[in-house]
Structure 1
Amino acid sequence: MNYSFELVGISPILSFFSHQHSTPAHRGAEYLGAYRCTLDAFLESVETVPRKRGWNLDAVVDSVVNFWLNNGEQVRHWRQRLEDAGRENVLVARVADVQAMQQEFEALLNRPPQ
Protein backbone atom coordinates (compact mmCIF):
# COMPACT_ATOMS: atom_id res chain seq x y z
CA MET A 1 0.00 0.00 0.00
CA ASN A 2 1.07 3.55 -0.71
CA TYR A 3 0.24 6.35 1.69
CA SER A 4 0.28 10.11 1.42
CA PHE A 5 0.68 12.72 4.11
CA GLU A 6 -0.24 16.40 3.78
CA LEU A 7 -0.56 19.36 6.12
CA VAL A 8 -4.00 20.83 5.40
CA GLY A 9 -4.75 23.68 7.80
CA ILE A 10 -5.27 25.17 11.24
CA SER A 11 -8.36 24.47 13.33
CA PRO A 12 -9.59 25.50 16.76
CA ILE A 13 -9.11 22.52 19.08
CA LEU A 14 -12.79 22.09 19.91
CA SER A 15 -13.87 22.32 16.27
CA PHE A 16 -11.32 19.71 15.22
CA PHE A 17 -12.36 17.19 17.87
CA SER A 18 -16.05 17.87 17.30
CA HIS A 19 -15.59 17.29 13.57
CA GLN A 20 -13.65 14.06 14.25
CA HIS A 21 -16.53 12.64 16.29
CA SER A 22 -19.44 13.89 14.19
CA THR A 23 -18.40 12.85 10.69
CA PRO A 24 -18.18 9.30 9.37
CA ALA A 25 -14.63 8.14 8.75
CA HIS A 26 -13.60 7.93 5.12
CA ARG A 27 -12.17 4.59 4.17
CA GLY A 28 -9.02 6.06 2.75
CA ALA A 29 -8.08 8.95 5.02
CA GLU A 30 -7.50 9.86 8.62
CA TYR A 31 -7.18 13.43 9.88
CA LEU A 32 -4.67 14.16 12.62
CA GLY A 33 -4.23 17.17 14.86
CA ALA A 34 -1.03 18.32 16.56
CA TYR A 35 -0.35 21.19 18.94
CA ARG A 36 3.17 21.56 17.56
CA CYS A 37 4.39 21.60 13.97
CA THR A 38 7.13 19.03 14.44
CA LEU A 39 7.91 15.70 12.87
CA ASP A 40 7.84 14.06 16.30
CA ALA A 41 4.35 15.41 17.05
CA PHE A 42 2.90 13.90 13.87
CA LEU A 43 4.77 10.63 14.26
CA GLU A 44 3.19 10.29 17.71
CA SER A 45 -0.28 11.08 16.38
CA VAL A 46 0.01 8.65 13.47
CA GLU A 47 0.95 5.66 15.64
CA THR A 48 -2.67 4.76 16.47
CA VAL A 49 -4.02 5.09 12.92
CA PRO A 50 -2.63 1.90 11.34
CA ARG A 51 -3.96 -0.29 14.15
CA LYS A 52 -7.50 1.01 13.63
CA ARG A 53 -7.39 0.66 9.87
CA GLY A 54 -5.08 -2.29 9.29
CA TRP A 55 -2.48 -0.05 7.63
CA ASN A 56 1.25 -0.76 7.49
CA LEU A 57 2.76 1.41 10.25
CA ASP A 58 6.24 1.49 8.69
CA ALA A 59 4.87 2.68 5.34
CA VAL A 60 2.70 5.35 7.01
CA VAL A 61 5.67 6.61 9.04
CA ASP A 62 7.79 6.67 5.85
CA SER A 63 5.19 8.88 4.15
CA VAL A 64 5.27 11.35 7.07
CA VAL A 65 9.07 11.45 7.16
CA ASN A 66 9.31 11.82 3.37
CA PHE A 67 6.86 14.72 3.44
CA TRP A 68 8.90 16.40 6.17
CA LEU A 69 12.18 15.94 4.29
CA ASN A 70 10.85 17.10 0.91
CA ASN A 71 8.57 19.99 1.91
CA GLY A 72 10.58 22.19 4.25
CA GLU A 73 9.03 25.41 2.96
CA GLN A 74 5.50 24.10 3.53
CA VAL A 75 6.43 22.93 7.02
CA ARG A 76 7.84 26.37 7.87
CA HIS A 77 4.70 28.04 6.48
CA TRP A 78 2.35 25.92 8.62
CA ARG A 79 4.59 26.25 11.68
CA GLN A 80 4.29 30.05 11.40
CA ARG A 81 0.50 29.88 10.80
CA LEU A 82 0.12 27.71 13.90
CA GLU A 83 2.15 30.15 15.99
CA ASP A 84 0.07 33.06 14.65
CA ALA A 85 -3.19 31.23 15.44
CA GLY A 86 -2.42 30.83 19.14
CA ARG A 87 -2.54 28.07 21.71
CA GLU A 88 -6.21 27.15 21.26
CA ASN A 89 -5.56 25.70 17.78
CA VAL A 90 -4.10 22.59 16.21
CA LEU A 91 -2.38 21.92 12.92
CA VAL A 92 -4.41 19.43 10.90
CA ALA A 93 -2.86 16.85 8.60
CA ARG A 94 -4.28 14.08 6.45
CA VAL A 95 -2.73 10.65 6.08
CA ALA A 96 -4.32 8.54 3.39
CA ASP A 97 -4.22 5.20 1.66
CA VAL A 98 -3.68 6.46 -1.89
CA GLN A 99 -5.56 3.61 -3.59
CA ALA A 100 -8.60 3.86 -1.28
CA MET A 101 -8.76 7.64 -1.72
CA GLN A 102 -8.56 7.23 -5.49
CA GLN A 103 -11.45 4.76 -5.40
CA GLU A 104 -13.52 7.15 -3.25
CA PHE A 105 -12.91 10.05 -5.65
CA GLU A 106 -13.73 7.91 -8.67
CA ALA A 107 -16.96 6.77 -7.01
CA LEU A 108 -17.92 10.39 -6.34
CA LEU A 109 -17.24 11.36 -9.96
CA ASN A 110 -19.23 8.41 -11.32
CA ARG A 111 -22.20 8.88 -8.99
CA PRO A 112 -25.33 10.05 -10.84
CA PRO A 113 -26.72 13.48 -9.83
CA GLN A 114 -29.23 13.44 -6.99
Structure 2
Amino acid sequence: MKYTFDIVGVSPTWQFFHHQQQTINQPSGGAVEYLSTHKCTLDAVLESIEPLPVKWGWNTEQVRDTVVKFWLNNAESIRYWKVRLIDAGNENILVARLADMTSLQAEFESLFSK
Protein backbone atom coordinates (compact mmCIF):
# COMPACT_ATOMS: atom_id res chain seq x y z
CA MET A 1 0.00 0.00 0.00
CA LYS A 2 1.22 3.52 -0.77
CA TYR A 3 0.91 6.34 1.74
CA THR A 4 1.06 10.09 1.49
CA PHE A 5 1.96 12.72 4.08
CA ASP A 6 1.73 16.49 3.83
CA ILE A 7 1.66 19.49 6.12
CA VAL A 8 -1.60 21.31 5.45
CA GLY A 9 -1.36 24.33 7.72
CA VAL A 10 -1.42 25.96 11.12
CA SER A 11 -4.66 26.16 13.08
CA PRO A 12 -5.92 27.34 16.45
CA THR A 13 -6.07 24.30 18.73
CA TRP A 14 -9.79 24.72 19.48
CA GLN A 15 -10.66 24.92 15.77
CA PHE A 16 -8.79 21.70 14.97
CA PHE A 17 -10.42 19.96 17.94
CA HIS A 18 -13.86 21.14 16.78
CA HIS A 19 -13.17 19.88 13.24
CA GLN A 20 -12.06 16.48 14.58
CA GLN A 21 -15.22 16.21 16.69
CA GLN A 22 -17.40 16.95 13.67
CA THR A 23 -15.67 14.36 11.49
CA ILE A 24 -16.06 11.63 14.12
CA ASN A 25 -19.82 11.67 13.50
CA GLN A 26 -19.51 11.55 9.71
CA PRO A 27 -19.17 8.30 7.78
CA SER A 28 -15.58 7.78 6.76
CA GLY A 29 -14.74 6.86 3.21
CA GLY A 30 -11.37 5.49 4.18
CA ALA A 31 -8.10 5.95 5.88
CA VAL A 32 -7.39 9.69 5.77
CA GLU A 33 -6.20 11.16 9.05
CA TYR A 34 -5.55 14.76 10.03
CA LEU A 35 -3.12 15.03 12.91
CA SER A 36 -1.61 17.81 14.94
CA THR A 37 1.40 18.72 16.97
CA HIS A 38 2.61 21.79 18.86
CA LYS A 39 6.12 21.43 17.40
CA CYS A 40 7.26 21.37 13.80
CA THR A 41 9.85 18.62 14.26
CA LEU A 42 10.20 15.17 12.78
CA ASP A 43 10.16 13.59 16.25
CA ALA A 44 6.90 15.36 17.16
CA VAL A 45 5.21 14.29 13.92
CA LEU A 46 6.40 10.69 14.26
CA GLU A 47 5.00 10.64 17.79
CA SER A 48 1.63 11.95 16.58
CA ILE A 49 1.30 9.19 13.94
CA GLU A 50 2.09 6.29 16.31
CA PRO A 51 -1.52 5.04 16.80
CA LEU A 52 -2.56 5.34 13.16
CA PRO A 53 -0.99 2.19 11.65
CA VAL A 54 -2.75 0.05 14.27
CA LYS A 55 -6.08 1.86 13.77
CA TRP A 56 -6.08 1.39 9.99
CA GLY A 57 -4.05 -1.81 9.63
CA TRP A 58 -1.24 0.07 7.90
CA ASN A 59 2.35 -1.10 7.60
CA THR A 60 4.12 0.82 10.39
CA GLU A 61 7.51 0.92 8.67
CA GLN A 62 6.07 2.16 5.38
CA VAL A 63 4.12 4.88 7.18
CA ARG A 64 7.23 6.03 9.07
CA ASP A 65 9.28 5.93 5.85
CA THR A 66 6.68 8.10 4.10
CA VAL A 67 6.91 10.76 6.81
CA VAL A 68 10.72 10.64 6.98
CA LYS A 69 11.03 10.91 3.18
CA PHE A 70 8.69 13.91 3.21
CA TRP A 71 10.84 15.50 5.90
CA LEU A 72 14.08 14.88 4.00
CA ASN A 73 12.73 16.07 0.63
CA ASN A 74 10.82 19.19 1.73
CA ALA A 75 13.20 21.22 3.89
CA GLU A 76 12.03 24.56 2.50
CA SER A 77 8.37 23.77 3.13
CA ILE A 78 9.14 22.58 6.65
CA ARG A 79 11.06 25.77 7.42
CA TYR A 80 8.09 27.78 6.13
CA TRP A 81 5.60 25.94 8.37
CA LYS A 82 7.93 26.10 11.35
CA VAL A 83 8.06 29.91 11.05
CA ARG A 84 4.27 30.12 10.54
CA LEU A 85 3.71 28.02 13.67
CA ILE A 86 6.03 30.20 15.75
CA ASP A 87 4.43 33.39 14.39
CA ALA A 88 0.94 32.06 15.20
CA GLY A 89 1.74 31.65 18.90
CA ASN A 90 1.25 28.99 21.56
CA GLU A 91 -2.50 28.60 21.04
CA ASN A 92 -1.91 27.11 17.58
CA ILE A 93 -0.85 23.75 16.20
CA LEU A 94 0.67 22.34 13.05
CA VAL A 95 -1.84 20.26 11.06
CA ALA A 96 -0.77 17.45 8.75
CA ARG A 97 -2.52 14.81 6.69
CA LEU A 98 -1.55 11.14 6.51
CA ALA A 99 -3.46 8.78 4.24
CA ASP A 100 -3.27 5.77 2.06
CA MET A 101 -3.32 6.93 -1.56
CA THR A 102 -6.53 5.11 -2.48
CA SER A 103 -8.51 6.67 0.38
CA LEU A 104 -7.15 10.15 -0.30
CA GLN A 105 -8.10 9.86 -3.96
CA ALA A 106 -11.60 8.74 -2.97
CA GLU A 107 -11.92 11.71 -0.57
CA PHE A 108 -10.91 14.17 -3.30
CA GLU A 109 -13.32 12.57 -5.78
CA SER A 110 -16.17 12.82 -3.26
CA LEU A 111 -15.42 16.53 -2.78
CA PHE A 112 -15.62 17.13 -6.52
CA SER A 113 -18.91 15.26 -6.81
CA LYS A 114 -20.62 17.41 -4.14
Instruction: Tell me whether the two structures share a fold, i.e. TM-score over 0.5.
Output: yes
Deviations 1:54-75 (A, max 9, x none): 1111111111000000000000
Partner AA of 1:70 in structure 2: N
Aligned to 1:45: 48
Structure 1 residues 42 and 26: alpha-carbon distance in aligned structure 2, compared to 1, 3 A threshold: farther
Q: TM-score, normalised by structure 1?
A: 0.89
The counterpart of 1:94, out of the listed 72, 97, 101, is 97
**Percent identical residues:** 53
Aligned to 1:80: 83
How far, CA to CA, are the matches of 1:91 and 1:107 in structure 2? 25
Aligned to 2:18: 18
Tell me, yes or no, if structure 1 residue 54 matches structure 2 residue 60. no
Answer yes or no: is the 8 Å Cα contact 1:28–1:104 preserved in 2.
Answer: no
Matched residue count = 111
Q: Could you list the structure 1 runs, at least 4 aligned residues long, displaced by more than 4 angstroms after superposition.
A: none
Offset, 1:99: 1.6
How far, CA to CA, are the matches of 1:13 and 1:102 in structure 2? 27
Structure 1 residues 43 and 108: alpha-carbon distance in aligned structure 2, compared to 1, 3 A threshold: same
Q: Which has the larger radius of gyration?
A: 1
Root-mean-square deviation (CA, aligned residues, Å) is: 1.6
Structure 1 unaligned residues grouped into runs of 5+: none
How far, CA to CA, are the matches of 2:58 and 2:30 in structure 1? 11
How far, CA to CA, are the matches of 1:104 and 1:7 in structure 2? 17
Answer yes or no: is the 8 Å Cα contact 2:37–2:44 preserved in 1.
Answer: yes
Structure 2 unaligned residues grouped into runs of 5+: none
Structure 1 residues 106 and 64: alpha-carbon distance in aligned structure 2, compared to 1, 3 A threshold: same
